[in-house]
A and B are shown apart, each in its own frame.
Chain A
Amino acid sequence: MSADHAHSFAAADALEETAAPAGGGAPAARARSDEVLLSVENVSLGFGGVKALTDVSFDIRKGEIRAIIGPNGAGKTSMLNCINGFYHPTEGRITFKGQTRPKMRPHEAAAGGIARTFQNVALFKGMSTLDNIMTGRSLKMRTNVFWQLVRFGPATREEVEHRRKVEDIIDFLQIQHIRKTPVGKLPYGLQKRVELGRALAMEPELLLLDEPMAGMNLEEKEDMSRFILDVNQEFGTTIALIEHDMGVVMDLSDRVVVLEYGRKIADGTPDEVKANQAVIDAYLGVPH
């Protein structure tokens, strides 16, 4: 052994420490800014007599993973639908990137940089994985119908560019083997992954995930968790997610907001939320 390797003892320890958070998925090591990307202020949402949300306020900071949890019917999906403009709050305001828009439609939200996935997979079943993810790029396409019809010139160049982006995503999500497979034939876990791919193709600033692990087995959940962390780290995407698996929520997220019967009952780091009596009561029930 040459003397050149003598230094390696000390270096090994230093490396261990930095590697542990990245491998273990503890969010502490990730750099966070305090800049608010999206804020929800006193939002209420009613359908006729039913109040889905009552006076909810919280914010999402740039670069964080924010979880929204709560028992069934707590209004989590309604909240997500408000954020991406599918519902309009009856009261309150939503500010995204410093701009408050009174009535935002989903396509405006999408153009503004908000992408989402759905609780029940919403893909084009007959189309291939590749084509499904390509649809995520449609908002970014600039050439007109004429050029797209003639299939040469600017439209082709543009498509090559988009295809390159899509291939990056396919590589990122490790779904090369199903590139040409119609998504209807894929198992559920993979469909979820394709849906995430389509959302990523929009290169969003804020990614909304509605129960990304629903119906998955342990291994699929672990894979999906890895992808969510990687998206957050590699692309710096801010993520808001709804999830029922508490283990996943507590491991992945930086901050958690808890809803019950349309009201916010807690907000804070996973540890704070876990210790909150109102949250414990909401999940375990209290004698009335």
Chain B
Amino acid sequence: MHANEAERPGARLDRERPVTTSVAAREDTFPKLIVRNARVRPRRTAFRHKDLGIWQSWDWGRVHESVRGFAAGLHGLGVRKGDKVAIVGANRPRLYWAMAAAQWIGAVPIPVYADSVAEEMAYVLSHAEVVTAVVQDQEQVDKLLQVADQVPTLGHVLYDEPRGLRDYDHARLHPLTEFIAEGEARLAREPELASVIDGALEAGRGEDLAIILYTSGTTGRPKGVMLTHDNVLAAARMGCDFDRLDETDEIIAYLPLAWVGDHIFSYAQAILAGLCVNCPESPETIVEDRREIGTTYAFAPPRVFENMLTLTMVRMEDAGRIKRAMFKYFIDHAGKVGEKILNGERVGTGDRLLYAIGDFLVYGPLRNRFGLTGIKVGYTAGEAIGPEIFRFYRSIGVNLKQLYGQTEASVYVTMQPDGEIYADTVGRPVPGVEIKIDENGEVLFRSPGVFLAYYKDDAKTAETKTQDGFVRSGDAGFFAENGHLKIIDRAKDVGKMNDGSLFPPKYVENKLKFYPNIKEAVAYGNGRDFVGVFVNIDLTAVGNWAERNNVIYASYQELAQNPQVYEMIAGHVDEVNRSLAAEPMMGGAQIKRFLILHKELDADDGELTRTQKVRRGFIAERYQPLIDALYDGSSEADIRTEVTFEDGRKGVIAARVKIRDMQVYPVETHAPVREAAE
């Protein structure tokens, strides 16, 4: 890899110089682990950053000296044990070092989302009582100065990129490169300072607070999750052991520093395993940068994988006819046998041979384009990934897996082991993690990675953490027969029916929406005797079917009321009921009655959110007569609905909607799941 050649000029000077830090017996904190890395693998590249078109790199020896100098500098600014240091910006080596430098002297780094607006930032900084901030560039400096009067504790601000900051008053502003160099120089000059700094390192303990991560908080104010070195180290060890990471691995760091995922993947695991962290040139160059580096371990939210795939598909449309045909042929073949080969299942010789040819012609080049050639394992988490996308990557030989985690657990709760990959589950509990499901279906977990408490919020801590150390995840889920965890919905959205069985609306709706003919589904059942569902058919898919079957229709409304369409949708609902019946916890949520709505749900009418999520409560009010009919046993109902047309005019749609009764299957009862899980 060409990047290795671009060693820093300073590296050669260090070659003769021994590691300056003289302490660290037990490696129970991250700064101590950096010292270990400097001793064990001083010349191995630790960080790279693409700057001015060239990969600049720093080895562990160099990183150690910088972090130590950085720590001395912070000490010089008056930062002491327990003080909070904010870190704001994109993924840059010096910002990662800032975390280590703060931890070195016992201070607590507080990474803040770089894209948060000044107000949000002011809240986090003042809540955490930040004394010093390390930021990336002018944008962040401006934001900090704007909120400075709301954060009375804030003293000095250090910045990484000097651009645009020349004319600022530098009484409290310091450029990072000079700050670190000055710290190193002082350490070399003043032996007393060196012994203070080394003493601070030695005084660090595993049970010390390592970091506070503020969760982005979709509801209410962000909460500061306090994690100790022991927590973070335990989690990092789980990850490194699970996928056997070592110093030869390469990762690319591009997710927000304030997100627990990045902290574990790009900081904790990197330092623990001694692997190399690559910082991209800019947010727009990640794909290209990843390709140049050839990362071996990747982590991304589903949308990243979706985007890569969409981009490829769009480009393939522009390709020549032969290439397009070849692409289609081999991708289809991969869809048939690729996953089986990856899972080590039995596949015929002919298919294997064809797959090998495909690998040479299509899959290999594709993986190369995605920057996934050297990938050992890739993870996706954060939200559910579309099964087709998930399978696509696996079929072309990328070992993509899912995991389920939370900030409060230092990420890891469950992971998918090699060879046990199911698109609809998030895997088995990671060794060392205990999981139980409470009577409301909420997932609780306990592990060495479980957080200390929420910063300055005992009420919330008590609410989330049980007496015996379990954490309420806020997600509802259950264990499938294969021992894998399935997450079904947010726990607060999961309701109960009158007979006491669980009713997870989104889970039922998603099962229905899996069928291309069903565009949208709205399930009701909370506090009722049975589950009733409104269905929207997909006009494209069903229209296509109508054309092929000579079904004549003039509008959505007409097609929706067609008996044959009802028959088809009833077939889908029946299949959903069968699959629900096979899942003991979910069996009670089988659909007893459904109807096909006479109009498409629309965000303009307030029935969907702008992000296309159904607003169940609003829909229930708006279609009250239909809800009544669904539950009073009538076979049809009249409804008049006011609608907004695309040009803004209002109109009224009236219709007589039919309601279908469905068969409910007896629920399979194998061993009660709660016991099986524990």
Interface residues of A (CB under 8 A from B): 1-2, 4-5, 7-9, 11-16, 18-19, 22-23, 29-30, 163-164, 167-168, 170-172, 174, 176-177, 179, 230, 233-234
Q: Say yes or no: B145 contacts A171, CB within 8 Å.
A: no
**A residues less than 8 Å from B288 (CB atoms):** 177
Closest to A168 in B: B52
Considering only residues 166-191 of chain B, those with a C-beta below 8 Å from chain A are 166-169, 171-173
**B residues less than 8 Å from A172 (CB atoms):** 163
Choose among A2, A14, A23, A30 the residue that contacts B80 (Cβ–Cβ < 8 A): A2
How far is A4 from B107 in the complex, measured between Cα atoms in Å? 15
Q: Does B626 make an interface contact (CB < 8 A)?
A: no
How far is A234 from B165 in the complex, measured between Cα atoms in Å? 9
**B residues less than 8 Å from A174 (CB atoms):** 282
Q: Say yes or no: B155 contacts A19, CB within 8 Å.
A: no
Q: Say yes or no: A15 contacts B171, CB within 8 Å.
A: yes
Choose among B53, B78, B166, B167 the residue that contacts A2 (Cβ–Cβ < 8 A): B78
Q: Does B129 make an interface contact (CB < 8 A)?
A: yes
How far is A15 from B284 in the complex, measured between Cα atoms in Å? 33
Apart from A12-B172, A233-B164: 8 A-B pairs, beta carbons within 8 A:
A11-B171, A12-B145, A15-B148, A15-B173, A19-B141, A174-B282, A179-B53, A234-B163
With known contacts A5-B131, A233-B166, A234-B163, A177–B284 Cβ distance under 8 A: yes
Closest to B162 in A: A234
Q: Say yes or no: B169 contacts A8, CB within 8 Å.
A: no
Choose among A4, A11, A164 the residue that contacts B172 (Cβ–Cβ < 8 A): A11
With known contacts A18-B167, A176-B282, A23–B78 Cβ distance under 8 A: no
Instruction: Name, among A14, A19, A30, the residue most crowded by chain B CB atoms within 10 Å (CB to CB).
Output: A19
Considering only residues 63-82 of chain B, those with a C-beta below 8 Å from chain A are 77-78, 80
Ranked nearest first, the 8 interchain pairs of A and B with the lowest CB-CB distance are A4-B78, A177-B284, A167-B52, A18-B169, A12-B148, A8-B155, A19-B145, A23-B142
Q: Does B83 make an interface contact (CB < 8 A)?
A: yes
Choose among A1, A176, A177 the residue that contacts B129 (Cβ–Cβ < 8 A): A1
Q: Mark B148-167, 1 if CB is under 8 A from A, else 0.
A: 11001111000000011111
**B residues less than 8 Å from A163 (CB atoms):** 53
Interface residues of B (CB under 8 A from A): 51-54, 77-78, 80, 83, 129, 131, 141-142, 145, 148-149, 152-155, 163-169, 171-173, 281-282, 284-285, 288
Closest to A13 in B: B149
How far is A177 from B406 in the complex, measured between Cα atoms in Å? 33
**B residues less than 8 Å from A167 (CB atoms):** 52-54
Closest to B53 in A: A167
Main secondary structure of the interface of B (DSSP, over half): loop
Q: Say yes or no: A16 contacts B145, CB within 8 Å.
A: yes
**B residues less than 8 Å from A170 (CB atoms):** 52-53
Q: Say yes or no: A176 contacts B167, CB within 8 Å.
A: no
Q: How far is the CB of B35 from chain A (nearest CB, A)?
A: 26
With known contacts A176-B282, A230-B163, A233-B164, A12–B52 Cβ distance under 8 A: no
**B residues less than 8 Å from A179 (CB atoms):** 53
With known contacts A2-B78, A22-B167, A12–B153 Cβ distance under 8 A: no
**A residues less than 8 Å from B168 (CB atoms):** 15, 18-19, 22
How far is A174 from B149 in the complex, measured between Cα atoms in Å? 31
Instruction: Name, among A13, A22, A171, the residue most crowded by chain B CB atoms within 10 Å (CB to CB).
Output: A22
How far is A233 from B168 in the complex, measured between Cα atoms in Å? 12
Report 5 cross-chain contacts, Cβ distance below 8 Å, ordered by A residue. A12-B145, A167-B54, A176-B284, A177-B285, A233-B164
Choose among B53, B148, B166, B173 the residue that contacts A234 (Cβ–Cβ < 8 A): B166
Q: How far is the CB of A11 from chain B (nearest CB, A)?
A: 5
Closest to B156 in A: A8
Q: Say yes or no: B145 contacts A7, CB within 8 Å.
A: no
Q: How far is the CB of A134 from chain B (nearest CB, A)?
A: 12
**B residues less than 8 Å from A234 (CB atoms):** 163-164, 166
How far is A172 from B285 in the complex, measured between Cα atoms in Å? 15
How far is A2 from B285 in the complex, measured between Cα atoms in Å? 43
